[in-house]
Structure 1
């Protein structure tokens, strides 16, 4: 099962030093397959993204992604981009640049649309209770989506324990994505 770390400035800070320090701690005891730099607040996103990519490369993280900005991901030589559920129209452009494209989905219709547009993978959420993310979809819903969609699906939302990871694995998910699990 693939592991997907997503950053949040409340845990990683919003300066190069705090980001680097937090990543050093996490990467020294966990080795995720995918990592996403996500910070919706900072005006210094490009500088922090550069720090994130550089450090992730030093630790030999296999897939380094940026959030929402495929042009910046291409410019900084990230492996890919993770789009929000309002950015379906950007998948094709990211693929033209050779980027790995992940998009957030919250319904079967969105998952199907992502697949049709050529996304490499999706996150499907929230599976479990997660702060400010609405009613959880649950494991049965996840299993249903996994059975219907052909591209890889990362379960996302409230995944913080080994028991939850095993449960989404049993549903056939390609992997799980989390902020808090990696802290």
Structure 2
């Protein structure tokens, strides 16, 4: 089961110093296979993303991704990009840059479309209750989408404990993605 850390500025801070201190502490407890720098509010995203990539490389995170901006991911040397569910038409452009592409999906239709458009993997959410993310999909729905999709699926949403990781693994998910699990 692959693990996928997603950052949040409220937990990692919004300065290079705060990221420099937060990430190594997280990695010392639980080193993820994938790591995504997501910050929708900072004006100096590129600088913070650069620090994030460097720290992830120093800790040998397998795949380092940036959120939404495939051009910046390419320029900064990230392994890939995690696109939002509204960016499916940008999959081909990101792939043309040689990036590993993950895209957020919330319905079976979005997941199937992402696969058809060439995404390398998807997140499917929310599986469990997650604040402000709507009604959970649940494990049965996760099993259904795993049966329909051939690309890797990261279960996302409300995964904070090993019990939930075990449950999504039993459903056949490739991995789990989480913000709060890694804190």
Common fold: TM-score over 0.5: yes
Q: Secondary structure at the match of 2:98?
A: coil
Number of the residue aligned with 1:4:
4
| Deviation beyond 3 Å, 4+ runs, structure 1 | none
Number of the residue aligned with 2:41:
41
Number of the residue aligned with 1:76:
76
1:118-157 matches, within 5 Å, as 118-157=118-157
Matched pairs, number = 183
Q: Secondary structure at the match of 1:82?
A: strand
Q: Give the Cα–Cα distance (whole angstroms) in 1 for the partners of residues 83 and 125 of structure 2.
A: 14
Q: Give the Cα–Cα distance (whole angstroms) in 2 for the partners of residues 27 and 169 of structure 1.
A: 22
Number of the residue aligned with 1:63:
63
CA offset digits 1:108-129 (Å, max 9, x no partner): 1000000000000000000000
Long gaps (5+) in structure 2: none
TM-score, with normalisation over the residues of structure 2?
0.99
Q: Give the Cα–Cα distance (whole angstroms) in 2 for the partners of residues 147 and 48 of structure 1.
A: 38
CA offset digits 1:38-72 (Å, max 9, x no partner): 00000010000000000100111100000000000
1:94-105 matches, within 5 Å, as 94-105=94-105
Aligned CA RMSD, in angstroms, stands at 0.4
TM-score, with normalisation over the residues of structure 1?
0.99
Q: Secondary structure at the match of 1:47?
A: helix
Long gaps (5+) in structure 1: none
